[in-house]
Structures are given as C-alpha cells and as structure tokens.
Structure 1
Amino acid sequence: MYLHQLFVLGLLQVLGAHATQFLDRNLAYRSPFAEHPQLSHNTQEIQNRYLTHARRQVTDASFKDDHYPTFYGGEFGNSPFIWSGGINFTHSVASGDPLDTSVLLWTRAVPISPAGTSELPDQSVPICVSYKLFTSANLSGRPIDSGTAFTSYDVDFTVKLEATSLKPDTKYFFQFSDCTNPSLVSPIGTTRTLASPNTPARSVNKGKPLSIAVFSCSQFQAGWFNAYGFAAHNTTADIFVHLGDYIYESLGNGARIGRQVLGRELATIRDYRQRLNQYRTDTSLRALIRCRYLFELRDDHEVADNSWKAGTADSNDTAAGCAFSPSGACFTDRKLAAVRAYHEWMPIRQVDLRDKLRIWRNFQIGKLLDLTMLDTRQYERDITDVYYNTVVNTIAAFNNRSLLGATQEKWLYDTLSKSKARNAVWRIIGQQIIFTQLQLRESFNLDAWDGYRANRARVLDHLYKNKISNTVILAGDSHANWVSDLAHPNDTSYNPATGAGAIGVEFAGTAVTSGSSFGSGILPADADKMSRELVGVNADLQWSEGSFRGFFLLSIDADTLNATYYGMRNISFANLEGFPTAHFVVKNGENKLSRPVAGGTVGAGVLKSSL
C-alpha cells in the first residue's frame, strides 16, 4: 500500500531539509489556533514524531469524543511513509477569501480502503496532495501556481492551501491530485482574484458590473438547497457571500423529503464534522462552491441556537455543570469544537493568528467597494434572548450593551472612515442579523439589532456625523425578505415616501431552506397579510415578503447598485425552478432606495407604496 522505498528515502531527505513545509502548507493544521500551542496542531512536533517513528499519542478532550482522540495535538504515528493506496476527493473543491494576488483553495482527500476489503485504511499515514492552478479552463499550458501538502485524520483529511503570486482581477481554474498517483484527480474548480485596491472603480471586473449572490440559513432537513444551484447555473454571479447558518446543530425530521440528518445535536468535533460532511453532499451546494469563490460568516447555528459570547439557548457554562444541556456538553467545549471544524471545512482566512475567534475582516475590491464582513454572533456579543429569560426586554436599550464588542466596533468605524478616505464608491457590510427596527404588535426581535439599540445608534451616528455615503448593509437570519432605507428609528427627519433623510440601505434576505419566521410553510397570501401590517407600522421598511425561500443578487458598478431577489418554487425535491420576486435600485450618492421603490411593482410580497 506504500511508496517504493527509494521514493520514500528521497521524500524523507526533502522532509528533513524543509522541516514542516508540507504540513504548514495545509492551513487546516495551523488554523484557528496557530498562536495557542496548547490547542493547535504543533506541526514541528508532528514532523519530528513522524520522522522518528514515534507512536500516536492519545489525549482525550474534556468531553467524550471517540472520533477525535488527538483533540489537543496529533501525529502521524510510527509509519515513515505516505499513503499510496488511492484517495477519494469526497467533497469536490472550493475556494474563498480571495485577495488581489492570492486565494484560498480547499478540498478533502480521504484514503481508499484496500481493494476488496472493508478494512479502514491506516489512520496514522499522511495523505500527500498536489494542486495546480491555470488560467485556462482545460488546464493547458504551464501552471500559474502549484504545490504539495499533507493532510491526515487529525484535520478530517481536509486540505486548505493559499495560491499566491497571482494577477489581480483574474479568473483561474484549479485541480488537486494524489501525489503518489497523479491520475487520481479532483473535479476542476473555478476561482478568481480581486481587483487591486487602487484599481479605478470603472475598471474593476474588466469594466463589467460586479455581481454578488447573497445567501443565509440553509437547514438540511428543511429542504433541498435549490437556491445554490439556481445561482450557480442561472445567474452570472461573480461572488457568493454566505451570511451564516451554513449548517444547523439541531436534528429535526427531514425523512419525508429524503433529508434525514445524521448523528445527534452537535456537541463534539466528530458531530460538527459529520454535519458539515453531510451538508456538502447536496448537489446544488457542491455546484456552487466548485464554480465560484466564497466569503463566509458564522451565524449562531454553526455552534448552537442564539449563541452569544458566553453561552447559547441550550448550553451554558455553569457552576452546577452542563449535564442539563440536550447535547450533554458545555458551551465552551461546543464552541471550541465548532470553530475548529468550521476552519477545517471552510475556505476562510484566519485574520489574526492570536485571535482564534475573529472572522471580521475587510476586502478592498478596487475603488469600487469595500466588502466588510462582521461577526454579530460569536465574538463579543452581550447576552441575547435565550427564550427562558426575559432580562433582555429590560436592558435592550442600555448604552453599554454591545453586539460587536468594543474592539470590533472601533474597527468597523475605522474601516468605514478609511473606505471613504480612499474614495471607494460603495461600502457593503455583510453581517448576520436584521439591522433595521422591525416592530409587530409592540414586539421586537431582541436577538437582532433591536436587542442592542444603543449599538445600532452608534453605527448610524458614525455614518451621519462623518457623512459616509453609499453604505449598504446585508442581513440574513430572519428567514424572510426585508428591504429598508437606513435611518434612526422614529426619526422625523426621515421621509418614508421620498427616502429623504436616509443614510443608506439594508437588503435582508430569506433563508435557503429554513422555515419562514412568518410561519413554516406559510402560503404567499397569508404571508402578505403580515407583510402589509409590517410595512405599515415600520417607517423605514419598504418591502416585506415571507413565503418563498431563496436568495438575492447584487449587481454593482460605479453609478448604480441593483438588487434582485429570487424565490424558489419548491424545495421539497432537487430542482432549479425559481423566479425574480422583486428588483431594487440604489444610485450613487442618493443613500436611499430609488423611487418608485422596486419600480412600483413586485412579483411577491408587499411594497409600502402599494398600501
């Protein structure tokens, strides 16, 4: 099952000369705990043990997890060889978090069992994977970049590499292969780099509008991920942005539509890996990640429902212990496992090696826009509504409550100001939850920005006081569609009819599959009754739609931002049947939705102007 001895001797000489390069090239080993040696994979130690035939160390995690005995470190065991029995690229390929000269590439390379047996491959043997990146779709000519890396059981056989020295604003094609048998290859992936920060706005994307497809809330058991497939096959989106709830920790029953989830409520590293594994079996999701690059955010369900900096709805760290949790695990343990699995499976950069939780980051896409990605869930959010306590009702307006945490909040203001100073046309803020005030019968969603009103006011104050124009906030999480002008709630200087007095726009999208907040499975006519009340009561809200699952697409140039919403006709089986539900326009410098909003007519939902 192993390489020829001469090849192995040669490989060992290379390993000895170049230390841990084949391990360190795979970012899954180093992320997200690179500066925390007690938590991270020490690749030098792994390398030393690998070369000296050391035995595999087994260290239990703080909670039972038979799948992952080396939670605090791992090694390749006592074999000096790399696997040559064949590998399977089980979950296609993906790419993400591009810069102007580099991009992250991802795959998963699992060893194949010996022919004719059900015997598991030797888990102590590392897998060697190579990649090549080209400018031609048929992978002809010399590769622009190439490299080799190891993966192993320690990181769930995931491979996350950075392709470097690339040209800005350029499309690329890439493929992984087995080092020991180059005929074993992955599917071909498509990716691209961003325009350099100083590229004139009208030259970004070779002068064509830049299009961004925006998704959130994809619950496996609730339906098929048809929105991903529709966007991949039926739009020309350049970028895919996922605002969170990429997976759900809960179970539920999807058996009636062939979507029964595996395992249990997520608690251990094995649980989170198994769920990510199962989600990536969806054909539409695999098509999406293979043909476009992604910008990802974590919402609450990547860990657990309504999570905040010190707990979640059903598991908190307490002096009495955590046995009461349905998962049987404490919040800290769950979060540690979830974050590690997320970084293994997602082509996302680690922004700060000292800060394992940080995912807030900014991408300068020429002078056209800044794409600013926030963490309004996991980082430093103060306590949220966790169902069984009502304290948030009494503290939602407190000045010292923060959704972002002091460090991230200051970073956001600095980023917005720097974006204006560098003369970027648009500021697109990707974040997880509804920013605009939404009231229905005196009730507010305290798990959204309505539960952190002073923090919202500070964001709006920064935009108004510094005259920062062309800000567009993106939101998910609510499982319904909302489009609003941005203004201080109940501010009489804002005119809902004309949009005068607004400082920006919010586009909030429905779920890929998760049930509507208006009522799971609600029909359009019934949803529209609720939407009429919502757009009537909330001054900033200009459109509401709560029945269809789907996504929205932004098309951006130096003059105009267009937003088109799409609804899927049926998510109970795999299909590509969708239709546009509404279209909105924002013009450079106007800081509001263009009137008449949506051209005065929509394919679904209710416009304020129609009341």
Structure 2
Amino acid sequence: MPNLDRRSFLYTGLTGLTGLAAGAVATGPATAAAADPAPAGAPAAAGRDPSADPFTLGVASGDPDHEGFVIWTRLAPQPLAEDGMGGMPGRPFQVRWQVYADERCRRVVRAGVATAAPEWGHSVHVEVAGLAADRDYWYRFRAGRYVSPAGRARTAPHPLAAGGALAMAFVSCAQYEHGYFTSYRRLAEDHPDLVLHLGDYQYEYAPDTYTIPGGNVRDHQGPETETLAGYRQRHAQYKADPDLQAAHAAAPWLVVWDDHELDNNWADEVPEKPEVPQPDFLARRAAAFRAYYENMPLRRTSVPRGIDMQLYRRIRWGRLATFHMLDTRQYRDDQGCGDGYHDCPAAVDPARSITGPAQEEWLLDGFRTSRARWDIIGQQVFFAQRDNNAGPAKVTSQDAWDGYVASRRRITQGWVDARVRNAVVLTGDVHAHWASDLKLDYDDPTGPSVGAELVATSVSTGGDGADSDPARHPYLAINPHLKFYNNQRGYVLTKIESELMTADFKVVPHVQQPGAEAYTRATFVVEDRVPGVRQTYLRPMDPALRSARDVTVEETVELETRRP
C-alpha cells in the first residue's frame, strides 16, 4: 500500500459505498505515451471488436505544451447504460490512435496502441509528445473495425518564442435540461486555438429538480449523481451531445471544475447541506473525481487518488501568455455564513482561504517567476467585489471571492508585488456576462486598477435569459469598477496579442430551441500595461429579446442562487 494521507485513508474505508477499489486508485489508469509512426493499415492489437460503434462520445484534446498534448476518447456503444459502463463488457480493449500533420488525415506523424480498461470506464488518455511547436495537428482512434471522428489539436509555441496571436474562447455552466448547447457549436465555428472550460461542465441533479420557468426542455437520465455509475452515465449523456462534441473536436481544452461536477456549493470535505447527515459524501467525492478524470483530456498528473485530485496547473503559451488554472473548491474553507448573499464577518477573516495555502503559494510563485506578456488566471467564481447594498454594510456572495476577502487581497497583492505585466482573471459560475476592473481596495473607487476580470455567461443554465441595458444594472451603480452586464447565454471569444487582449462577449438569442446564431453583444479590450477593461463596441439591444424592465438586485441574486 502507498503512504496514505488522512483523506486517502478515509476514502479507503469507504470504497465499498461506490464500488471503487483502493488498489485501482493507487495504481492509476493505463496511459499511452507517443510512439513512432505506424502504417495506416497496420492491424490493431489483439482483442475482440466492440459489438457496435464505441465512439459515441466523440474525441477531445487538452493540456497542450510545445511538444504535444493529450488526446482522449472513451468507448461507449450504449452511452446511457445505467451501470455507467456505456454498454462495454468488463474486459480491456486495445485502441489504436494516430496523429496527423494534415486535416485529411493522410500524413501520420505519431501512432500507437492504448488500453481502454474497464476500471477506468474504458477511457483512453494518450500523452502525445515529440511534435513541432506552434502548429495544428489532427488525430483519431480505431477500435476493431470502428474509426472515431477526427479532432484538431494544436501545440503551444516554444517557451522562448513570442508566437503569434492566440484565439482563445472560454465557457462555463452547461445545464443539459435548461437548453441546447448551441454556444458550443458556435464556439467551434469560430475556430479557436484554445478553449478554457471554467466549471459546471455537467450538473448532478435528478430530472426536473433544477427547473426554469416554463419547464425544462430536456431531461437528465438517471437519479441525482452520487455513485461512480451515476457520474459516468451523466458525463456520457453530456458528451453524447453533438454540439459539445463539435467544440471538443475543434481545439485543445483546459478544464477545471466548479461545484456541480460533484454537489452544489461544496467546499472541500463539506457538502452543500452539512446539517443533513451524509456519511457517504467522501465516497461520492471520490466517485465524482474519478468520473471527471475519465471523461476529460487530462494528463496523468491529474489521476485522482482517493478523494484528492491535482487539478490546478500551469500552461505556458510561449512568451505570450501563461495560464494559471485554479481549483477554488477542493481546498477552500467552508462558506462563512452560508452560501448566499450576506453581510458576513467571517468573510474578512485573514485565516480563511478559497485556494488553500499550498495552491496560494504555488500561484504567488508563478507570478514571481513569470516572464509572460499576459498572466491569465482561469478559475471559477466571481473575483471582483460585488456589493448589492448601497449602504455601509457589504452584502456579497459568500460562495465567491467576496466570502474570502483576505485570500483575494493576498493573491492580488501578489501579482502587484511581482510586477506582473498584465493580470487578467477569467471567471464563470454566475450565468451572465460581466467585465470589470480589479482593485486592491474596492472601498476606494478612485484608486488605481491593478487587473481585469472577464466573466462568461452560461452555455445554457437558466434558459434563454433576456437582454437589458447593461449600464442600468444596479450592481454597476453600487460597484463602479463593474463595467458590463448581460444575461443572455453564450461564451467569450478572445484574441490575445502582444499589445492587446480583445474580448468579444458572444450571445445567442435563445437556447430553449436549437439552432440560434451567435452575435457579439459587446467588445472590451485590455491594453498592454494598462490595467482594467475598456469598452470598444456595444450592440444596440434587440427589443424582441430585452426584458420588460431593468433587472433588479433581488432578481440578480435570485438568478444566481436559484437552486432546489
């Protein structure tokens, strides 16, 4: 047995609740490294063919560096099987993989065979290496006579190279029941080089538990996810969506979770409702983490071990940008005064942290050693202060960085002290587009800005939403550092250049019916060495899509906190 910390020890005593084996967690999944090119017609390794097309969940790539990336697939001829095994028998299968230098998949540059093992949901994670920097590649898989769709990946520039402009999109919050994943399809059509998913990739609720006005437009399969089988089935239902598959096949992804990949508003080892006895919560956490790894294009450094999973990490895109991907769930102190909006004394307690001390020091060290033009922090929950009370009391969301004020101050002071050239925080979670300046002292609106925050609305969570005059949102009057708000669904498409970062806030007019076209609602820029955001474009409101009246503080709080 390996050395076990407290968490892993607790998990080992609970494995019977999820059907996981402690030995499997200790040894980890089978992964494949890069191999030399193989002839396109070479036979696959020994093993019987799957009974039907196993590539129903598509393909994905992720975590690129200047030499390669991860490519992923998972075999599932029956993706919604209740046992979570996707219709696969309980034995390993050999899967051939190939990486190509051309979109027509004729010039093989790397190839090999990986094992899709049943204990890891028949998932395949191949860490491809030895490729040229800063260029496109394509890849696909073969199991028996079945061939997967092809996906596009891209290597990063060499760490010492400036590289050209980077097209990067980021998204969050895709509730399957609330609408169609049209924004994923439109994102794919924009042909980004890199996609960041900032959490709530899937939702844990039983059917019709988390509902929108007028009723949900699609149904979750199975009960609330609490077991490994349940999480595997739910991930498969989402992955089977063709719009999501298109987005995964379009570009490499950097993924981090938020709360719904496990349980709404969870905090470290504390579930959403700690007052309700949940003796199985740690086993549930282990199952959720395992299923998350199985279904994401992550490197072996993120293989979960018990109830722990290394997800915060750093990806360098040449000298142009460094992406610091954070985990604000696994190590945080529990919310101080509940999950909602409160005037909470615990929020300013210097001992409380949303990142945990080890991740905080890792991030601060990354600032100190960074030589990138842009330091981009990919994370989950709102970073800037959002006070919804015009009086002296601060009434803020305790689930966001407002509930961990000292933690936010240390991080912000860290990039200021390190003289980070351009600090930009990317955020999801709140189901609306926002743009804001970041401050060291939010009580002094005349003080200097020290960074920028860009927030992506949801892909589908909340249903269609509505347009409104962003300047008339009451939060912007109370918090002058907040510069933009929009409550439609969509994503953010950015172009990162040496002198400028441009962010197009893309929206779709509806998601409760499929097929909507996307358009840019507003454009903001962040200029090199000029902290904060500046608006350069604002599309007039569409009268057919606007709300009957301006949104209120109470409605904003209700939209963000409406849960079963």
Normalised TM-score (structure 2): 0.82
**Counterpart position of 2:42:** none
User: Aligned pairs, how many?
Assistant: 507
Q: Is 1:465 matched up with 2:431? A: no
User: 1:65-90: CA deviations, max 9, x gaps?
Assistant: 5xx56575499xxxx97323545212
Give yes or no for contact 1:582–1:602 (8 Å, CA) kept in 2: no
Measure, in 2, the Cα distance between the counterparts of 1:467 and 1:174: 40
Please show how residues 552-571 of structure 1 align to structure 2 within 5 Å. 552-571=492-511
Q: How does 1:46-195 map to 2 (within 5 A)?
A: 62=15, 64-65=17-18, 68=19, 72-73=23-24, 82-87=47-52, 88-110=54-76, 123-141=89-107, 143-178=108-143, 181=144, 183-195=145-157
Aligned partner of 2:249 among 267, 290, 294 = 290
> What is the percentage of aligned positions where both structures have the same residue?
29
Query: Structure 1 residues 263, 385: CA separation in 2 closer, same or farther (over 3 Å shift)?
Result: farther
Is 2:452 aligned against 1:502? Answer: no
In 1: Cα distance, 2:96 partner to 2:160 partner: 33
Match of 2:31 in 1: none
- The answer for the alignment partner of 1:238 in structure 2 is 193
Question: 2:170: which partner in 1?
Answer: 214
Aligned to 1:347: 297
CA–CA separation in structure 1 for the residues paired with 2:420 and 2:362: 15
On the 8 A contact 1:101/1:165 being kept in 2, the answer is yes
Unaligned stretches of 5+ residues in structure 2: 28-44, 80-85, 551-564
Find the residue that maps to 2:55 and give its secondary structure. Answer: strand
Which residue number in structure 2 is paired with residue 266 of structure 1?
Answer: 225
Question: Aligned pair in 2 of structure 1 residues 37, 126: CA closer, same or farther (>3 Å)?
Answer: farther
1:14-66 deviations in Å (ceiling 9; x for gaps): xxxxxxxxxxxxxxxxxxx99879999xxxxxxxxxxxxxxxxxx9964545x
How much does 1:528 deviate?
5.2
Runs ≥4 in structure 1, deviation > 6 angstroms? 33-40, 352-355, 388-392
> Deviation of residue 132 (structure 1)?
0.8
Out of 460, 465, 476, the residue aligned to residue 428 of structure 2 is 476
CA 1:416–1:131: 2 relative to 1, 3 Å: same
SS in 2 for 1:146: strand
CA distance in 1, matches of 2:436, 2:366: 23
Aligned partner of 2:379 among 422, 426, 431: 431
The residue type equivalent to 2:100 in the other structure is F
Distance 1:521 1:132, change over 3 A: closer
Q: Is residue 470–residue 484 contact of structure 2 (8 Å, CA) maintained in 1?
A: no
TM alignment of 1:177-576, pairs within 5 A = 177-178=142-143, 181=144, 183-200=145-162, 204=163, 207=164, 209-233=165-189, 235-253=190-208, 258-314=217-273, 316=274, 324-325=277-278, 330-351=280-301, 356-378=308-330, 380-384=331-335, 387=338, 393-419=344-370, 422=371, 424-441=372-389, 442-492=394-444, 495=446, 501-515=448-462, 523-525=466-468, 531-545=472-486, 547-576=487-516
Q: Which shows bigger deviation, 305-314 or 271-280? A: 305-314
CA contact (8 A) 1:313 1:387 kept: no
- C-alpha spacing 1:386/1:394, structure 2 compared with 1 (3 Å): closer
Q: Cα distance 1:276–1:501, how it changes in 2: closer, same or farther (>3 A)?
A: same
Q: Secondary structure at the match of 2:396?
A: coil
In the TM superposition, what whole-angstrom CA distance separates every residue of 1:103-160 from its partner, at most 9, and x where no partner exists? Answer: 11111224799xxxxxx9883432111111110111113x211111111321111111
CA distance in 2: counterparts of 1:388 and 1:343, whole angstroms: 27
Partner AA of 2:197 in structure 1: H
Distance 1:186 1:453 in 2: 47
Partner residue of 1:598?
A: 536
**Structure with the larger RCO, 1 or 2 (CA within 8 Å, 6+ apart):** 2
Any stretches of 5+ residues in structure 1 without a counterpart? 1-32, 41-58, 114-119, 607-611
Question: Could you tell me how far apart the structure 2 residues matched to 1:468 and 1:135 are?
Answer: 36
Please tell me the root mean square deviation across aligned C-alpha atoms, in Å. 3.3
1:173-220: CA deviation from partner (whole Å, max 9, x where unpaired): 111112xx3x421111111111111112xxx1xx3x211111001111
Do the aligned residues in 2 keep the contact of 1:429 with 1:472 (CA within 8 Å)? yes
Q: 1:21 corresponds to which residue?
A: none
Q: Which shifted more, 103-112 or 186-195?
A: 103-112
Shift of 1:573: 2.1
Q: Distance in 2 between matches of 1:599 and 1:485?
A: 17
Pairwise CA distance, 1:168: 0.8
CA offset at residue 360 of structure 1?
0.7
* Contact 1:86–1:184 (Cα < 8 Å) also in 2: no
Once residues 247 and 300 of structure 1 are traced to their aligned partners in structure 2, the CA distance between those partners, rounded to angstroms, is 10
Once the two structures are superposed, residues 482-541 of structure 1 have per-residue CA deviations (whole angstroms, 9 ceiling, x without a partner) of: 11111124353x53xxxx7111110011111112xxxx765334x858x53111110211
Contact 1:109/1:129 (CA < 8 Å) preserved in 2?
no
Q: Is the 8 A contact 1:383 1:392 kept in 2?
A: no
> C-alpha distance in 2, partners of 1:159/1:134?
18
Q: TM-score, normalised by structure 1?
A: 0.76
Cα deviation for residue 285 of structure 1 reads: 0.2
CA distance in 2, matches of 1:434, 1:418: 26
Are the structure 2 counterparts of residues 257 and 462 from structure 1 closer, same or farther at C-alpha, using a change threshold of 3 Å? closer
Pair 567,558 (structure 1): closer, same or farther in 2 beyond 3 Å: same
Distance 2:354 2:247 in 1: 31
Closer, same or farther: CA 390–365 of 1 in aligned 2, 3 Å: closer
Give the deviation of 1:554 after TM superposition: 1.0
Shift of the 139–521 alpha-carbon distance from structure 1 to 2, 3 Å rule, reads: closer
Which amino acid is 1:150 matched to?
A: T
Contact 2:385 2:442 in 1 (8 A): no
Q: Which amino acid in 1 is paired with 2:451?
A: G
Letter in 2 for 1:243: L
Change (3 A) 1:432 1:366: same
Equivalent residues of 1:34, 1:353 under 8 A apart? no
CA distance in 2, matches of 1:236, 1:528: 28
Given that 1:512 and 1:551 are in contact with CA atoms closer than 8 Å, whether structure 2 keeps it comes out as yes
Question: 1:230 Cα deviation (Å)?
Answer: 0.8
Q: 1:121 to 1:330 in 2, by over 3 A?
A: closer
Q: In the superposition, relative to structure 1, how do residues 286 and 384 fare at CA in structure 2: closer, same or farther (>3 Å)?
A: same
- Is the partner of 2:291 in helix, strand or coil? helix
